[in-house]
Structure 1
Amino acid sequence: MKEHYEALPRQTANHVPLSPLSFLERTAAIFPEKTALVYNDLRLTWREVHERVRRLASSLKDMGIGPGDTVSVLAANTPELFELHYAVPLTGAVLNTINIRLEAETVAYIFDHGDARLVIADTAFSGVVKAAFALNGKSLPVVDIVDPHAPGGDRLGTETYAGLIEKGDPAFAWAGPDDEWQALALNYTSGTSGRPKGVVYHHRGAYLMAMGTPVAWELPRHPVYLYTVPMFHCNGWCHAWAMTLMAGTIVCIRQVSGKAVFDLIDRFGITHLGGAPIVLSMLVNTPEDDRRPLSAPVKIMTAGAPPPAAVLAATKALGFEVMQVYGLTETYGHVVQCLWREEWEDLSADEQAELQSWQGVGFPMTETVDVVDRDTGEPVPMDGETQGEIVIRGNTVMKGYYKNEAATSEAFSGGHFKSGDAAVRHPNGYVQIRDRLKDVIISGGENISSVEVEGVLHRHPDVVLAAVVALPDGTWGEVPCAFVELKDGSTLTEDELIDFCRAHMAGFKRPKKIVFTELPKTATGKIQKFVLREDARTMTENTS
């Protein structure tokens, strides 16, 4: 009877809060001498990583870092950033990894809005940290990561990362969160407004994402993973935790190039890597002399703007096995995959590549992925034609937006997370994105707010009106394209306006093409962006 079942309460013996922190403790105990991290000439075993993390967490606690504190990090994909994915939450604090390509103004906003208590920064990025402090009119304690393989930079703090490890306690208590709903990470994402929103991850979601990824990607034990995905993107798609779970070997790469990727695959026997479609294009376009033949297939997980079918086909011809995935910062990264089907085996290479460019079906840990009518909330027919909005429900959906109740409520209205992406659903249930409902441009895996770019353009004294849309690009997937109305008599050139943007925003955000024209508008004066998107597509077709 019901009361007998309910009489069995949760106890410490049968209920432990889920947290990815447990993966490192387990792997270090079972495979202590297995190589965990590789970076240039550095080799660290899982035993060594486990000890370094405990030492670092101990030192952070001695600095006053504890539960609920935000620790902001600007670092490249080096062992330090990997270790911080464990050391910061081990203190109960929240890890805030910041995009190293951002300009000082946005970094300053993140420091302030995210309530950062401490900044850990690679000295290569000291310039943007100093500029952000100046904009905020205050500085924060800084721990310097001094990487001999990095370009120069100034020391900003009184402590170094290496120093914290040296003086830390190797016996620091290893304890997970008291509550699996506890915040683990804070990631800022571009949206429809110029200011990024802070996406809050919890321990439960990160644990389940790391558990679901090996099943979906069919990861074997001890993969050799090349970390080409920036760890500041959705915590590196949560692969820092997933690869620990599988006792893999993580090969760190500071700057990604085609030659470097081929060299590392050959040197270390890389089995898996991830990246935006720009990584696929980079591999395909690597000069023949810089390539190394693959001794075995290498599996690539790719996400971002849907990769062109031609790029997928060319990548496959090189010996890479590509799986297209889809997700958002708000869903811890990928939660939908283009799962390969046996009935596709006999199709042509071009047909297979086209199907591989679909977003697909939910990952194992994703409860529901659907495409619904935005007005009624009802699922659209699975006819491959009727468009709706992708909605997602599951444990790998964010807690919400940090200090933004209105945006959180809007995102979760209807009982699921609204992606803002327009898609169709095919008869086999596979989802395919057809357009973007929100004005975000995905360029090389980076989210760019069109509103933010428009705001900068409008700062120029000769600009009357500006609208920014995505311009399809064979290398980056999409790049910003600006349509601009100028004041009468202005002689402003495209190059001059691009230079103006360069001085006011990160390089990857500035328009790559500017068209001076009268903008199409509705009777009420609203800019008709759908017309501009079509114009951008036409420009691409005419130049291809």
Structure 2
Amino acid sequence: MNPETVAHMYYRDLPRNEANFAPLSPLSFIERTAEVYPDRLAIVHGDLRQTWRQTYARCRRLASALQRAGIGKNDTVAVMLPNTPPMVEAHFGVPMAGAVLNSLNTRLDPQAVAFMLDHGEARVVIVDPEFASVMAQAMALRQRTEPLLVIDVEDALFTGPAQRIGSTTYEAFIGGGDPDFAWSLPGDEWDAIALNYTSGTTGNPKGVVYHHRGAAVNAISNILEWDMPKHAVYLWTLPMFHCNGWCFPWTVAARAGVNVCLRRVEAQAIFDAMREHGVTHYCGAPIVHGMLVNAPAGLKAGGPAGIKAMVAGAAPPASMIEGMEQMGFDLTHVYGLTEVYGPATVCAKHERWSELDIGERARLNARQGVRYHLERDVRVLDPQTMLPVPQDGETMGEIMFKGNIAMKGYLKNPKATAEAFAGGWFHSGDLAVQYPDGYFKIKDRSKDIIISGGENISSIEVEDVLYRHPDVLAAAVVARPDPKWGETPCAFVELKAGAHTTPEDIVRHCRQHLAGFKVPRAVVFGELPKTSTGKIQKFELRKQAGSAAAIDV
């Protein structure tokens, strides 16, 4: 036999076994940290100071209690929680039980929550008292008849009226669990770890399924992009329900860092936390960074220097970059979608950029950048030919992703999954150009999504509500630039003959049917521009939206 052929055979036949292979999972991060740094601080919340040993034990208790309640592999556990300790614990305890974590958007209306509970087939829901009323309404709207175990969280920092809707409390529930629960890594790193719903850009929201491998490699990529040191102090300004907090619950555990919890995102609370706890890192939508930049000077006094901030959503304008620099903050611009675990590209900065004027730095930092360390590839491709567009900064194509930082697919939606992965790439739906240095920049959205305060708003959903008003003949919704939220919905409405409806009437109508952040902030009456076939020309409306007068909603 040819010696080369023999070598090939031996390479092939070397066995994979438990000694040389283990599934990638972020659950291993908390296990190691609890072993190596058991007495390091893990969670701060009000007067609570919880170590990694205690946090790990509580996560194991949660997993044990869930299994004793009959929860196992691929069962869905929904949570409707702010950025509090139970939310951190759920990111480990739920998958330790083999279950799938469904973090519900706390800003949604009962109808949307009910749909998600039904579609995801949740068997357990853990709910904070602040959202008990919405959850109670959602449960009444459910179509599924299977029993749902509801667990109430009690939080001393919640000052509103208490409402019990569950059969037990969170502390009582995990109190029945085993702190030494013998959990195991998933049998396959492709197993589901989390379910996150999109904002429903065309009809009902789509359930995006994450796998253990993707969660682990994106959490590690977060460390690499930020050069995040051990024992970083991370402030939770970004909602953990949003793409699992961009995978940062797992990132912080990997670095044996500190989770500084925050019930409400307010400038006073943020600056107080930064001073008191020595915050080193935080993430957020542009509205959060803008709020800090524009806060009174007195609130900013005495804050730690060198805080690293991460921004996603709308590109940071020059005023934000300059304002962050004046506060001594280091701003990193990232980009992604729910389907790619939150950020999966970064506008990696170069030292020479610091020598440029603020306008040029803003131009360079406004780009969505290049792929994360552990993402296989991100390209701007022609969606028809699936070939790369010229890197000339002018030719538009669609941003597409390939690699481990991509969802398993959409739950119960094989058609949408196949479309999303057509041609061997994940199609983002965002149109962009790519520059000679490989960096890319979004120019438009193939679907008319409005990004407001980091939340996606479907123009179609808002238009459907507008059409339900008896005086509306035609309606179209586009993004209106907003200095606070980045973008807000602007409604262009053509009224029926003889109607006397006011813009304020339209806003009141929308408030009855939409979550608050989806309600139009401007309403313009008049005949809508249309093509010869009757299609509304949204590009014309976008030109007018910037000058539309805002309405207090």
TM, length-normalised to structure 2: 0.96
Tell me the equivalent position of 1:114: 120
The one-letter amino acid of 1:106's match is A
Q: Counterparts of 1:340-351 in structure 2 under 5 Å?
A: 340-351=349-360
| Percent pairwise identity | 53
Contact in 2 for aligned 1:55/1:166 (Cα 8 Å): yes
Rounded to whole Å, the distance in 1 between the matches of 2:203 and 2:539 is 20
Q: Counterparts of 1:374-393 in structure 2 under 5 Å?
A: 374-393=383-402
**1:276 to partner: Cα distance:** 0.4
Tell me the equivalent position of 2:156: 148
Rounded to whole Å, the distance in 2 between the matches of 1:406 and 1:534 is 35
Change (3 A) 1:460 1:539: closer
Give a deviation string over 1:166-191, Cα, whole Å, max 9, x none.
22111210311011000000000124
Rounded to whole Å, the distance in 2 between the matches of 1:530 and 1:195 is 25
Rounded to whole Å, the distance in 1 between the matches of 2:318 and 2:445 is 19
Secondary structure in 2 matching 1:118? strand
Output the aligned Cα RMSD: 1.3
Tell me the equivalent position of 1:73: 79
**1:48 alignment partner, one of 18, 30, 54:** 54
Question: Does 1:477 pair with 2:483?
Answer: no
Contact in 2 for aligned 1:471/1:540 (Cα 8 Å): no
Give a deviation string over 1:230-285, Cα, whole Å, max 9, x none.
00000000000001000001100000111111111111110000000001110011
The one-letter amino acid of 1:6's match is R
Rounded to whole Å, the distance in 1 between the matches of 2:8 and 2:548 is 66
User: Segments of 4+ in structure 1 off by > 4 A?
Assistant: 538-541
Question: Does 1:19 pair with 2:28?
Answer: no
Contact in 1 for aligned 2:102/2:194 (Cα 8 Å): yes
Tell me the equivalent position of 1:216: 225
Rounded to whole Å, the distance in 1 between the matches of 2:81 and 2:484 is 25
Rounded to whole Å, the distance in 2 between the matches of 1:73 and 1:196 is 17
Rounded to whole Å, the distance in 2 between the matches of 1:292 and 1:330 is 39
**2:543 alignment partner, one of 521, 534, 539:** 534
Tell me the equivalent position of 1:100: 106
Contact in 2 for aligned 1:310/1:350 (Cα 8 Å): no
Rounded to whole Å, the distance in 2 between the matches of 1:216 and 1:227 is 18
Secondary structure in 2 matching 1:19? coil
Contact in 1 for aligned 2:97/2:183 (Cα 8 Å): no
**2:130 alignment partner, one of 124, 129, 149:** 124
Tell me the equivalent position of 1:3: 9
The one-letter amino acid of 1:50's match is Y
Contact in 1 for aligned 2:316/2:365 (Cα 8 Å): no
Contact in 2 for aligned 1:280/1:312 (Cα 8 Å): no
Contact in 1 for aligned 2:279/2:304 (Cα 8 Å): no
Tell me the equivalent position of 1:422: 431
Question: Does 1:264 pair with 2:270?
Answer: no
**1:301 to partner: Cα distance:** 0.7
Q: Counterparts of 1:352-391 in structure 2 under 5 Å?
A: 352-391=361-400
148-157 vs 29-38, which moves further: 148-157
Contact in 2 for aligned 1:263/1:292 (Cα 8 Å): no
Secondary structure in 2 matching 1:96? strand
Contact in 2 for aligned 1:306/1:477 (Cα 8 Å): no
Question: Does 1:82 pair with 2:88?
Answer: yes
**1:251 alignment partner, one of 248, 255, 260:** 260
Rounded to whole Å, the distance in 2 between the matches of 1:293 and 1:446 is 32
Secondary structure in 2 matching 1:201? strand
Q: Counterparts of 1:130-529 in structure 2 under 5 Å?
A: 130-136=136-142, 140-150=148-158, 151-529=160-538
Rounded to whole Å, the distance in 2 between the matches of 1:229 and 1:48 is 24
Contact in 2 for aligned 1:193/1:451 (Cα 8 Å): yes
**1:192 to partner: Cα distance:** 2.9
* Unpaired stretches in structure 2, ≥5 consecutive residues: 1-6
**1:67 to partner: Cα distance:** 0.5
Secondary structure in 2 matching 1:350? helix
Rounded to whole Å, the distance in 1 between the matches of 2:187 and 2:318 is 46
The one-letter amino acid of 1:443's match is S
Number of equivalenced pairs = 541
**1:372 to partner: Cα distance:** 1.1
Tell me the equivalent position of 1:57: 63
Tell me the equivalent position of 2:4: none
**1:312 to partner: Cα distance:** 1.9
342-351 vs 389-398, which moves further: 342-351
Change (3 A) 1:505 1:540: closer
The one-letter amino acid of 1:48's match is Q
Give a deviation string over 1:96-151, Cα, whole Å, max 9, x none.
00000000110011011111111111121111111111222556220111112112
**1:538 to partner: Cα distance:** 5.1
Rounded to whole Å, the distance in 2 between the matches of 1:253 and 1:285 is 20
**1:307 to partner: Cα distance:** 2.4
Contact in 1 for aligned 2:318/2:358 (Cα 8 Å): no
Secondary structure in 1 matching 2:87? helix
Rounded to whole Å, the distance in 1 between the matches of 2:266 and 2:430 is 30
The one-letter amino acid of 2:269's match is A
Contact in 1 for aligned 2:231/2:257 (Cα 8 Å): yes
Contact in 1 for aligned 2:522/2:548 (Cα 8 Å): no
Secondary structure in 2 matching 1:485? strand
Rounded to whole Å, the distance in 2 between the matches of 1:110 and 1:241 is 24
Give a deviation string over 1:26-56, Cα, whole Å, max 9, x none.
0000000000000011000000001111111
Rounded to whole Å, the distance in 1 between the matches of 2:61 and 2:31 is 14
**1:321 to partner: Cα distance:** 0.6
